[in-house]
Structure 1
Amino acid sequence: MKAKRRSRLSFLGVALSLAACGPSKIPKTTMILKEYQLTSDARGHFLNQRQAFSPDDQWLVYDNRNDDAQIGLNTSVEMVNVSTGEQKLVYKAPVSNDYGPGVGAAAFSPKHNEVIFIHGLGNYDAAKPYGVTRRTGLAVDLTANNLPSRKDARDVLPPFTPGALRGGTHAHSYSGDGRWISFTYNDDVIAELSKTDSTKKDLRNIGVMIDKGPVAVASETAESFGGTMFSVIVSETTETPRPGSDEIEKAYEEGWVGTNGYVKADGSRVEKALAFLGDTRAANGQLVAEVFIVDLDTDLTKSDPERPLEGTTTSRPFPPAGVRQRRLTYTADRKYPGVQGPRQWVRSLPDGSLIFFPMKDTDGVVQVFAVSPNGCEISQITHNGFSLDTSFSISADGKYLAYGYNQDVYLTNIQTDETSKVSPERNYESTDLNNINWSNEGHVLAYNRKVITPEGAFYQVFILK
């Protein structure tokens, strides 16, 4: 093992001591916790990669996929009690076939007994199946007999409606106060235009739903409908980003910065912000994923002149007035440039002072790195001799990372870089450890494994206490 060296970094006036050492071949400590299997029936129980716990940490919500890529074939969302293992139905699509509607990626509000998930449009068939431009955010109120409601309005016919979208939302995530919802987005109008105009591409973006609704549309159809919230796109992409510039051709894997935003270098607070990955083009033309941030401390219902929130027949929806994305990382000159590793939505400390993402170190090992939302040098957080092979989650107190490697769960102390294996030896065959969620209070870890049985291999829900 290489000699250990320590450095002290200061972010926003708060000192954070991070150990920096060379890769070790095994974790420094082993701290085995008790594992409990909550589900066992022969079907999928697929957790979202975040916000799977109810506000009181008593329930875990999941969809019934048994394949990550098969949201289009799934029809139901359920939840399981963390203490008793009781399972309850949250939502079941009333009609379904091989083309839709498509249901999944369920997330709990941190403040209310409400669950939001992807739901495909109502007019699904062979010609118009479930797809990235043909889905919406459906919410279920668990305190009102599981009453469903559409969150984002949709209007695909000009003149378009401010506050309504023209495409599909996905990967919904509540802000810390539960009032806003972030999402990734693909625009149906531009996707259709791209079939006849080679200069147009269906580019992914990110957006937010804010509590300024409801939004009504002129004519309710299966393709256009109202929603309870006001939706806007807050990122900006281009089909042809200039090499070496901060322009991007894709915005994705967003995450809220802090529970209540972050503090700027001048001491003022940004109440809400989203960090996300943006695909840039390096000077040599190489595609490099970098970390970006967009501050949302302005009136998101207002547009710039000539840049309508609702877009036009030839342009995607524009961000609100005063909202501009800002680049935080510049990694094109590293040995292994760009964010790399397992699919990972951007995470941050609860106080918003650090934003975390996976990237390869100089030895080619995928580690967790961090950067301040104010921009500064990138810090390496983990120093393992192995590449994490799942997404990671951050504890409620901001002290620990949880992630998986070789079907085991590991914790890393963010301040000391000490890594511990915490999952016990298994007396069952399993694969596909993923979707690690930390409970709101920080005392329970939940995750999926695909357990192999004589009836087949099925995603089950496990917890570590």
Structure 2
Amino acid sequence: MKQITFAPRHHQLTNINTWTPDSRWLAFDVRPSGASFSGETIERVNVETGEVEVLYRAAHGAHVGVVTVNPRKAQYVFIHGPENPDAAWQYDFHHRRGVVLENALAHNLDAMDITPPFTPGALRGGSHVHVFSPDGEWVSFTYNDHVLHARDPMLDLRNVGVALPFGPVSPPCRHPREYAGQYWCALVSRTTAQPTPGSDEISRAYEEGWVGEDGYRKPDGSVQRRALAFIGDTRSVAGEKIPELFIVDLPSDVADWKRAGDEPLEGTETTMPAPPAGVIQRRLTFTHHRPWPGLATTPRHWVRSNPQGNAIAFLMRDEKGVAQLWMISPNGGDAKQLTSGEGGVASAFNWHPGGKWLGFIQNGCVVLCDVVTGAITPLTPSHSPSGDAVVFSPDGKYVAWMAQKDGFQQLWTVETGH
């Protein structure tokens, strides 16, 4: 394994899309940990030479982080906190935005409008963990709502949204914290503060992932071009929170994204923005009966589809309570357990671009897991890697992760052999 950063400071990888398309550079931020948000720069390092470049530097008291790369070109997107923060408006889940960087020019991804009447295509709060679709055209994100948070924080339910290149969106900007954005944004998940026990209703949607390089094939042979899988918090009959796996099929037509469903796209003063017409939310797992019900939330992970689009991987505990990898079709059905044993899975994970292996941390090692047999191949000796990110290069030849060295989180790579 090879250490590729050495500066006496922290280096933070996002959980996916951290490599440039040519597999030569890794993008990162300089937060001291994934839970903090105090970094001022977005940077990248050449994995061959160790050369580091600053791509973006925040100003006016703002902070930035959680950068991902467009899989098709040198374009970056990341979380940007508010400039000139004050007692009334500081960095928070509902006070942040996406920024797209290309050719050294930065533009807001999403627009913000918190003054009624609200603007369709604009958000009313904070977007975060922005991930380009496999074709580099759309961007998924998770979302928290300022308008409902100000009314009652319990109403500010996390949701999943999509930013589409159908903008720009320019609200009237009647509040000093409002701004325009380059993309049209819409929420695609549907949540409720009090899910009916035993139903498919959810109170939170999060940790999403795009399904397939080109979508997935439905039972009738048709192809769903774009879809997102995510974790949704259901309630058991006894009222316990149980995370389950969900999927949303997304329309391809621009007109569909600008047409409201049964509630306003932009939301109201008392309701969350609603999905456009044609967005279909469907539950994939039904685990309330299991001894350890629900998807595992420790370690934190994001659900991931293989490139072929016929398998979605997620973590769920086995009969001994150990987090293991499972897979299920985007069409639903029975989930298949892939890994077993006391080692389990100790990190977020990703698919190798070839679709034949998954990479993650097990027993302190970066490992490859054969998705047919479940066989584990360690790529590194046991050390103390971070569980936040294990990310393959687009050419599949390398995998990158984070580990402490001399008190600072550094970036490392190793050859995959594939």
Aligned partners of 1:134 and 1:123: how far apart in 2?
A: 12
Greater length-normalized contact order (CA 8 Å, ≥ 6 residues apart): 1
Residue 187 (structure 1) aligned with residue 142 (structure 2): no
CA gap 1:60/1:370 in 2 versus in 1, 3 angstroms: same
Q: Deviations over 1:177-226 (max 9, x none)?
A: 1000000000100000116xxxx521000000011111111127542111
Q: 1:149 aligns with which of 93, 103, 107?
A: 107
Q: Structure 1 counterpart of 2:92, which letter? A: G
Map 1:310-329 → 2, pairs under 5 A: 310-329=266-285
**What is the CA distance between 1:122 and its match in structure 2?**
2.2
Q: 1:176 aligns with which of 125, 131, 134?
A: 134
Aligned partners of 2:378 and 2:16: how far apart in 1?
A: 21
**1:220–1:226 CA contact under 8 A, matched in 2:** no
Map 1:60-459 → 2, pairs under 5 A: 60-71=26-37, 73-96=38-61, 101-141=62-102, 144=103, 146-194=104-152, 201-219=155-173, 222-299=176-253, 300-304=256-260, 307-340=263-296, 341-424=298-381, 430=384, 432-451=386-405, 453=406, 457-459=407-409
Q: Deviations over 1:358-395 (max 9, x none)?
A: 01111222110011110110111112331211111110
Q: Structure 2 counterpart of 1:48, which letter? A: T
Q: Deviations over 1:88-139 (max 9, x none)?
A: 001111222xxxx221000000011011000012241233210000000011
Aligned partners of 1:231 and 1:250: how far apart in 2?
A: 19
Aligned partners of 1:433 and 1:219: how far apart in 2?
A: 40
Q: Deviations over 1:386-439 (max 9, x none)?
A: 12111111100110011112321111100121111110366xxx5535411011
Unmatched 5+ stretches in structure 1:
1-34
Which shifted more, 153-162 or 304-313?
304-313
Aligned partners of 1:82 and 1:165: how far apart in 2?
A: 37
Aligned partners of 2:392 and 2:160: how far apart in 1?
A: 24
Look up the SS of the partner of 1:154 in the other structure: coil
Aligned partners of 2:267 and 2:251: how far apart in 1?
A: 22
**2:225–2:252 CA contact under 8 A, matched in 1:** no
**2:44–2:55 CA contact under 8 A, matched in 1:** yes
Q: Deviations over 1:64-109 (max 9, x none)?
A: 01221111x221111000111100001111222xxxx221000000
TM-score (norm 1): 0.86
Q: Deviations over 1:307-365 (max 9, x none)?
A: 11101111110100121210000001011110013101110110110111001111222
- Residue identity over aligned pairs, in percent, reads 42
**What is the CA distance between 1:298 and its match in structure 2?**
4.6
**2:261–2:276 CA contact under 8 A, matched in 1:** no
**What is the CA distance between 1:40 and its match in structure 2?**
0.9
TM-score (norm 2): 0.96
Aligned partners of 2:371 and 2:341: how far apart in 1?
A: 13
Unmatched 5+ stretches in structure 2:
none
Q: Structure 2 counterpart of 1:208, which letter? A: V
Q: Report the aligned-residue RMSD.
A: 1.4
1:20 matched residue in structure 2? none
Q: 1:55 aligns with which of 18, 21, 24?
A: 21
Aligned partners of 1:219 and 1:252: how far apart in 2?
A: 29
Aligned partners of 1:121 and 1:433: how far apart in 2?
A: 28
Look up the SS of the partner of 1:172 in the other structure: strand
CA gap 1:222/1:120 in 2 versus in 1, 3 angstroms: farther
Look up the SS of the partner of 2:246 in the other structure: strand
Aligned partners of 1:67 and 1:50: how far apart in 2?
A: 17
1:13 matched residue in structure 2? none
**1:447–1:463 CA contact under 8 A, matched in 2:** yes
**1:117–1:137 CA contact under 8 A, matched in 2:** yes
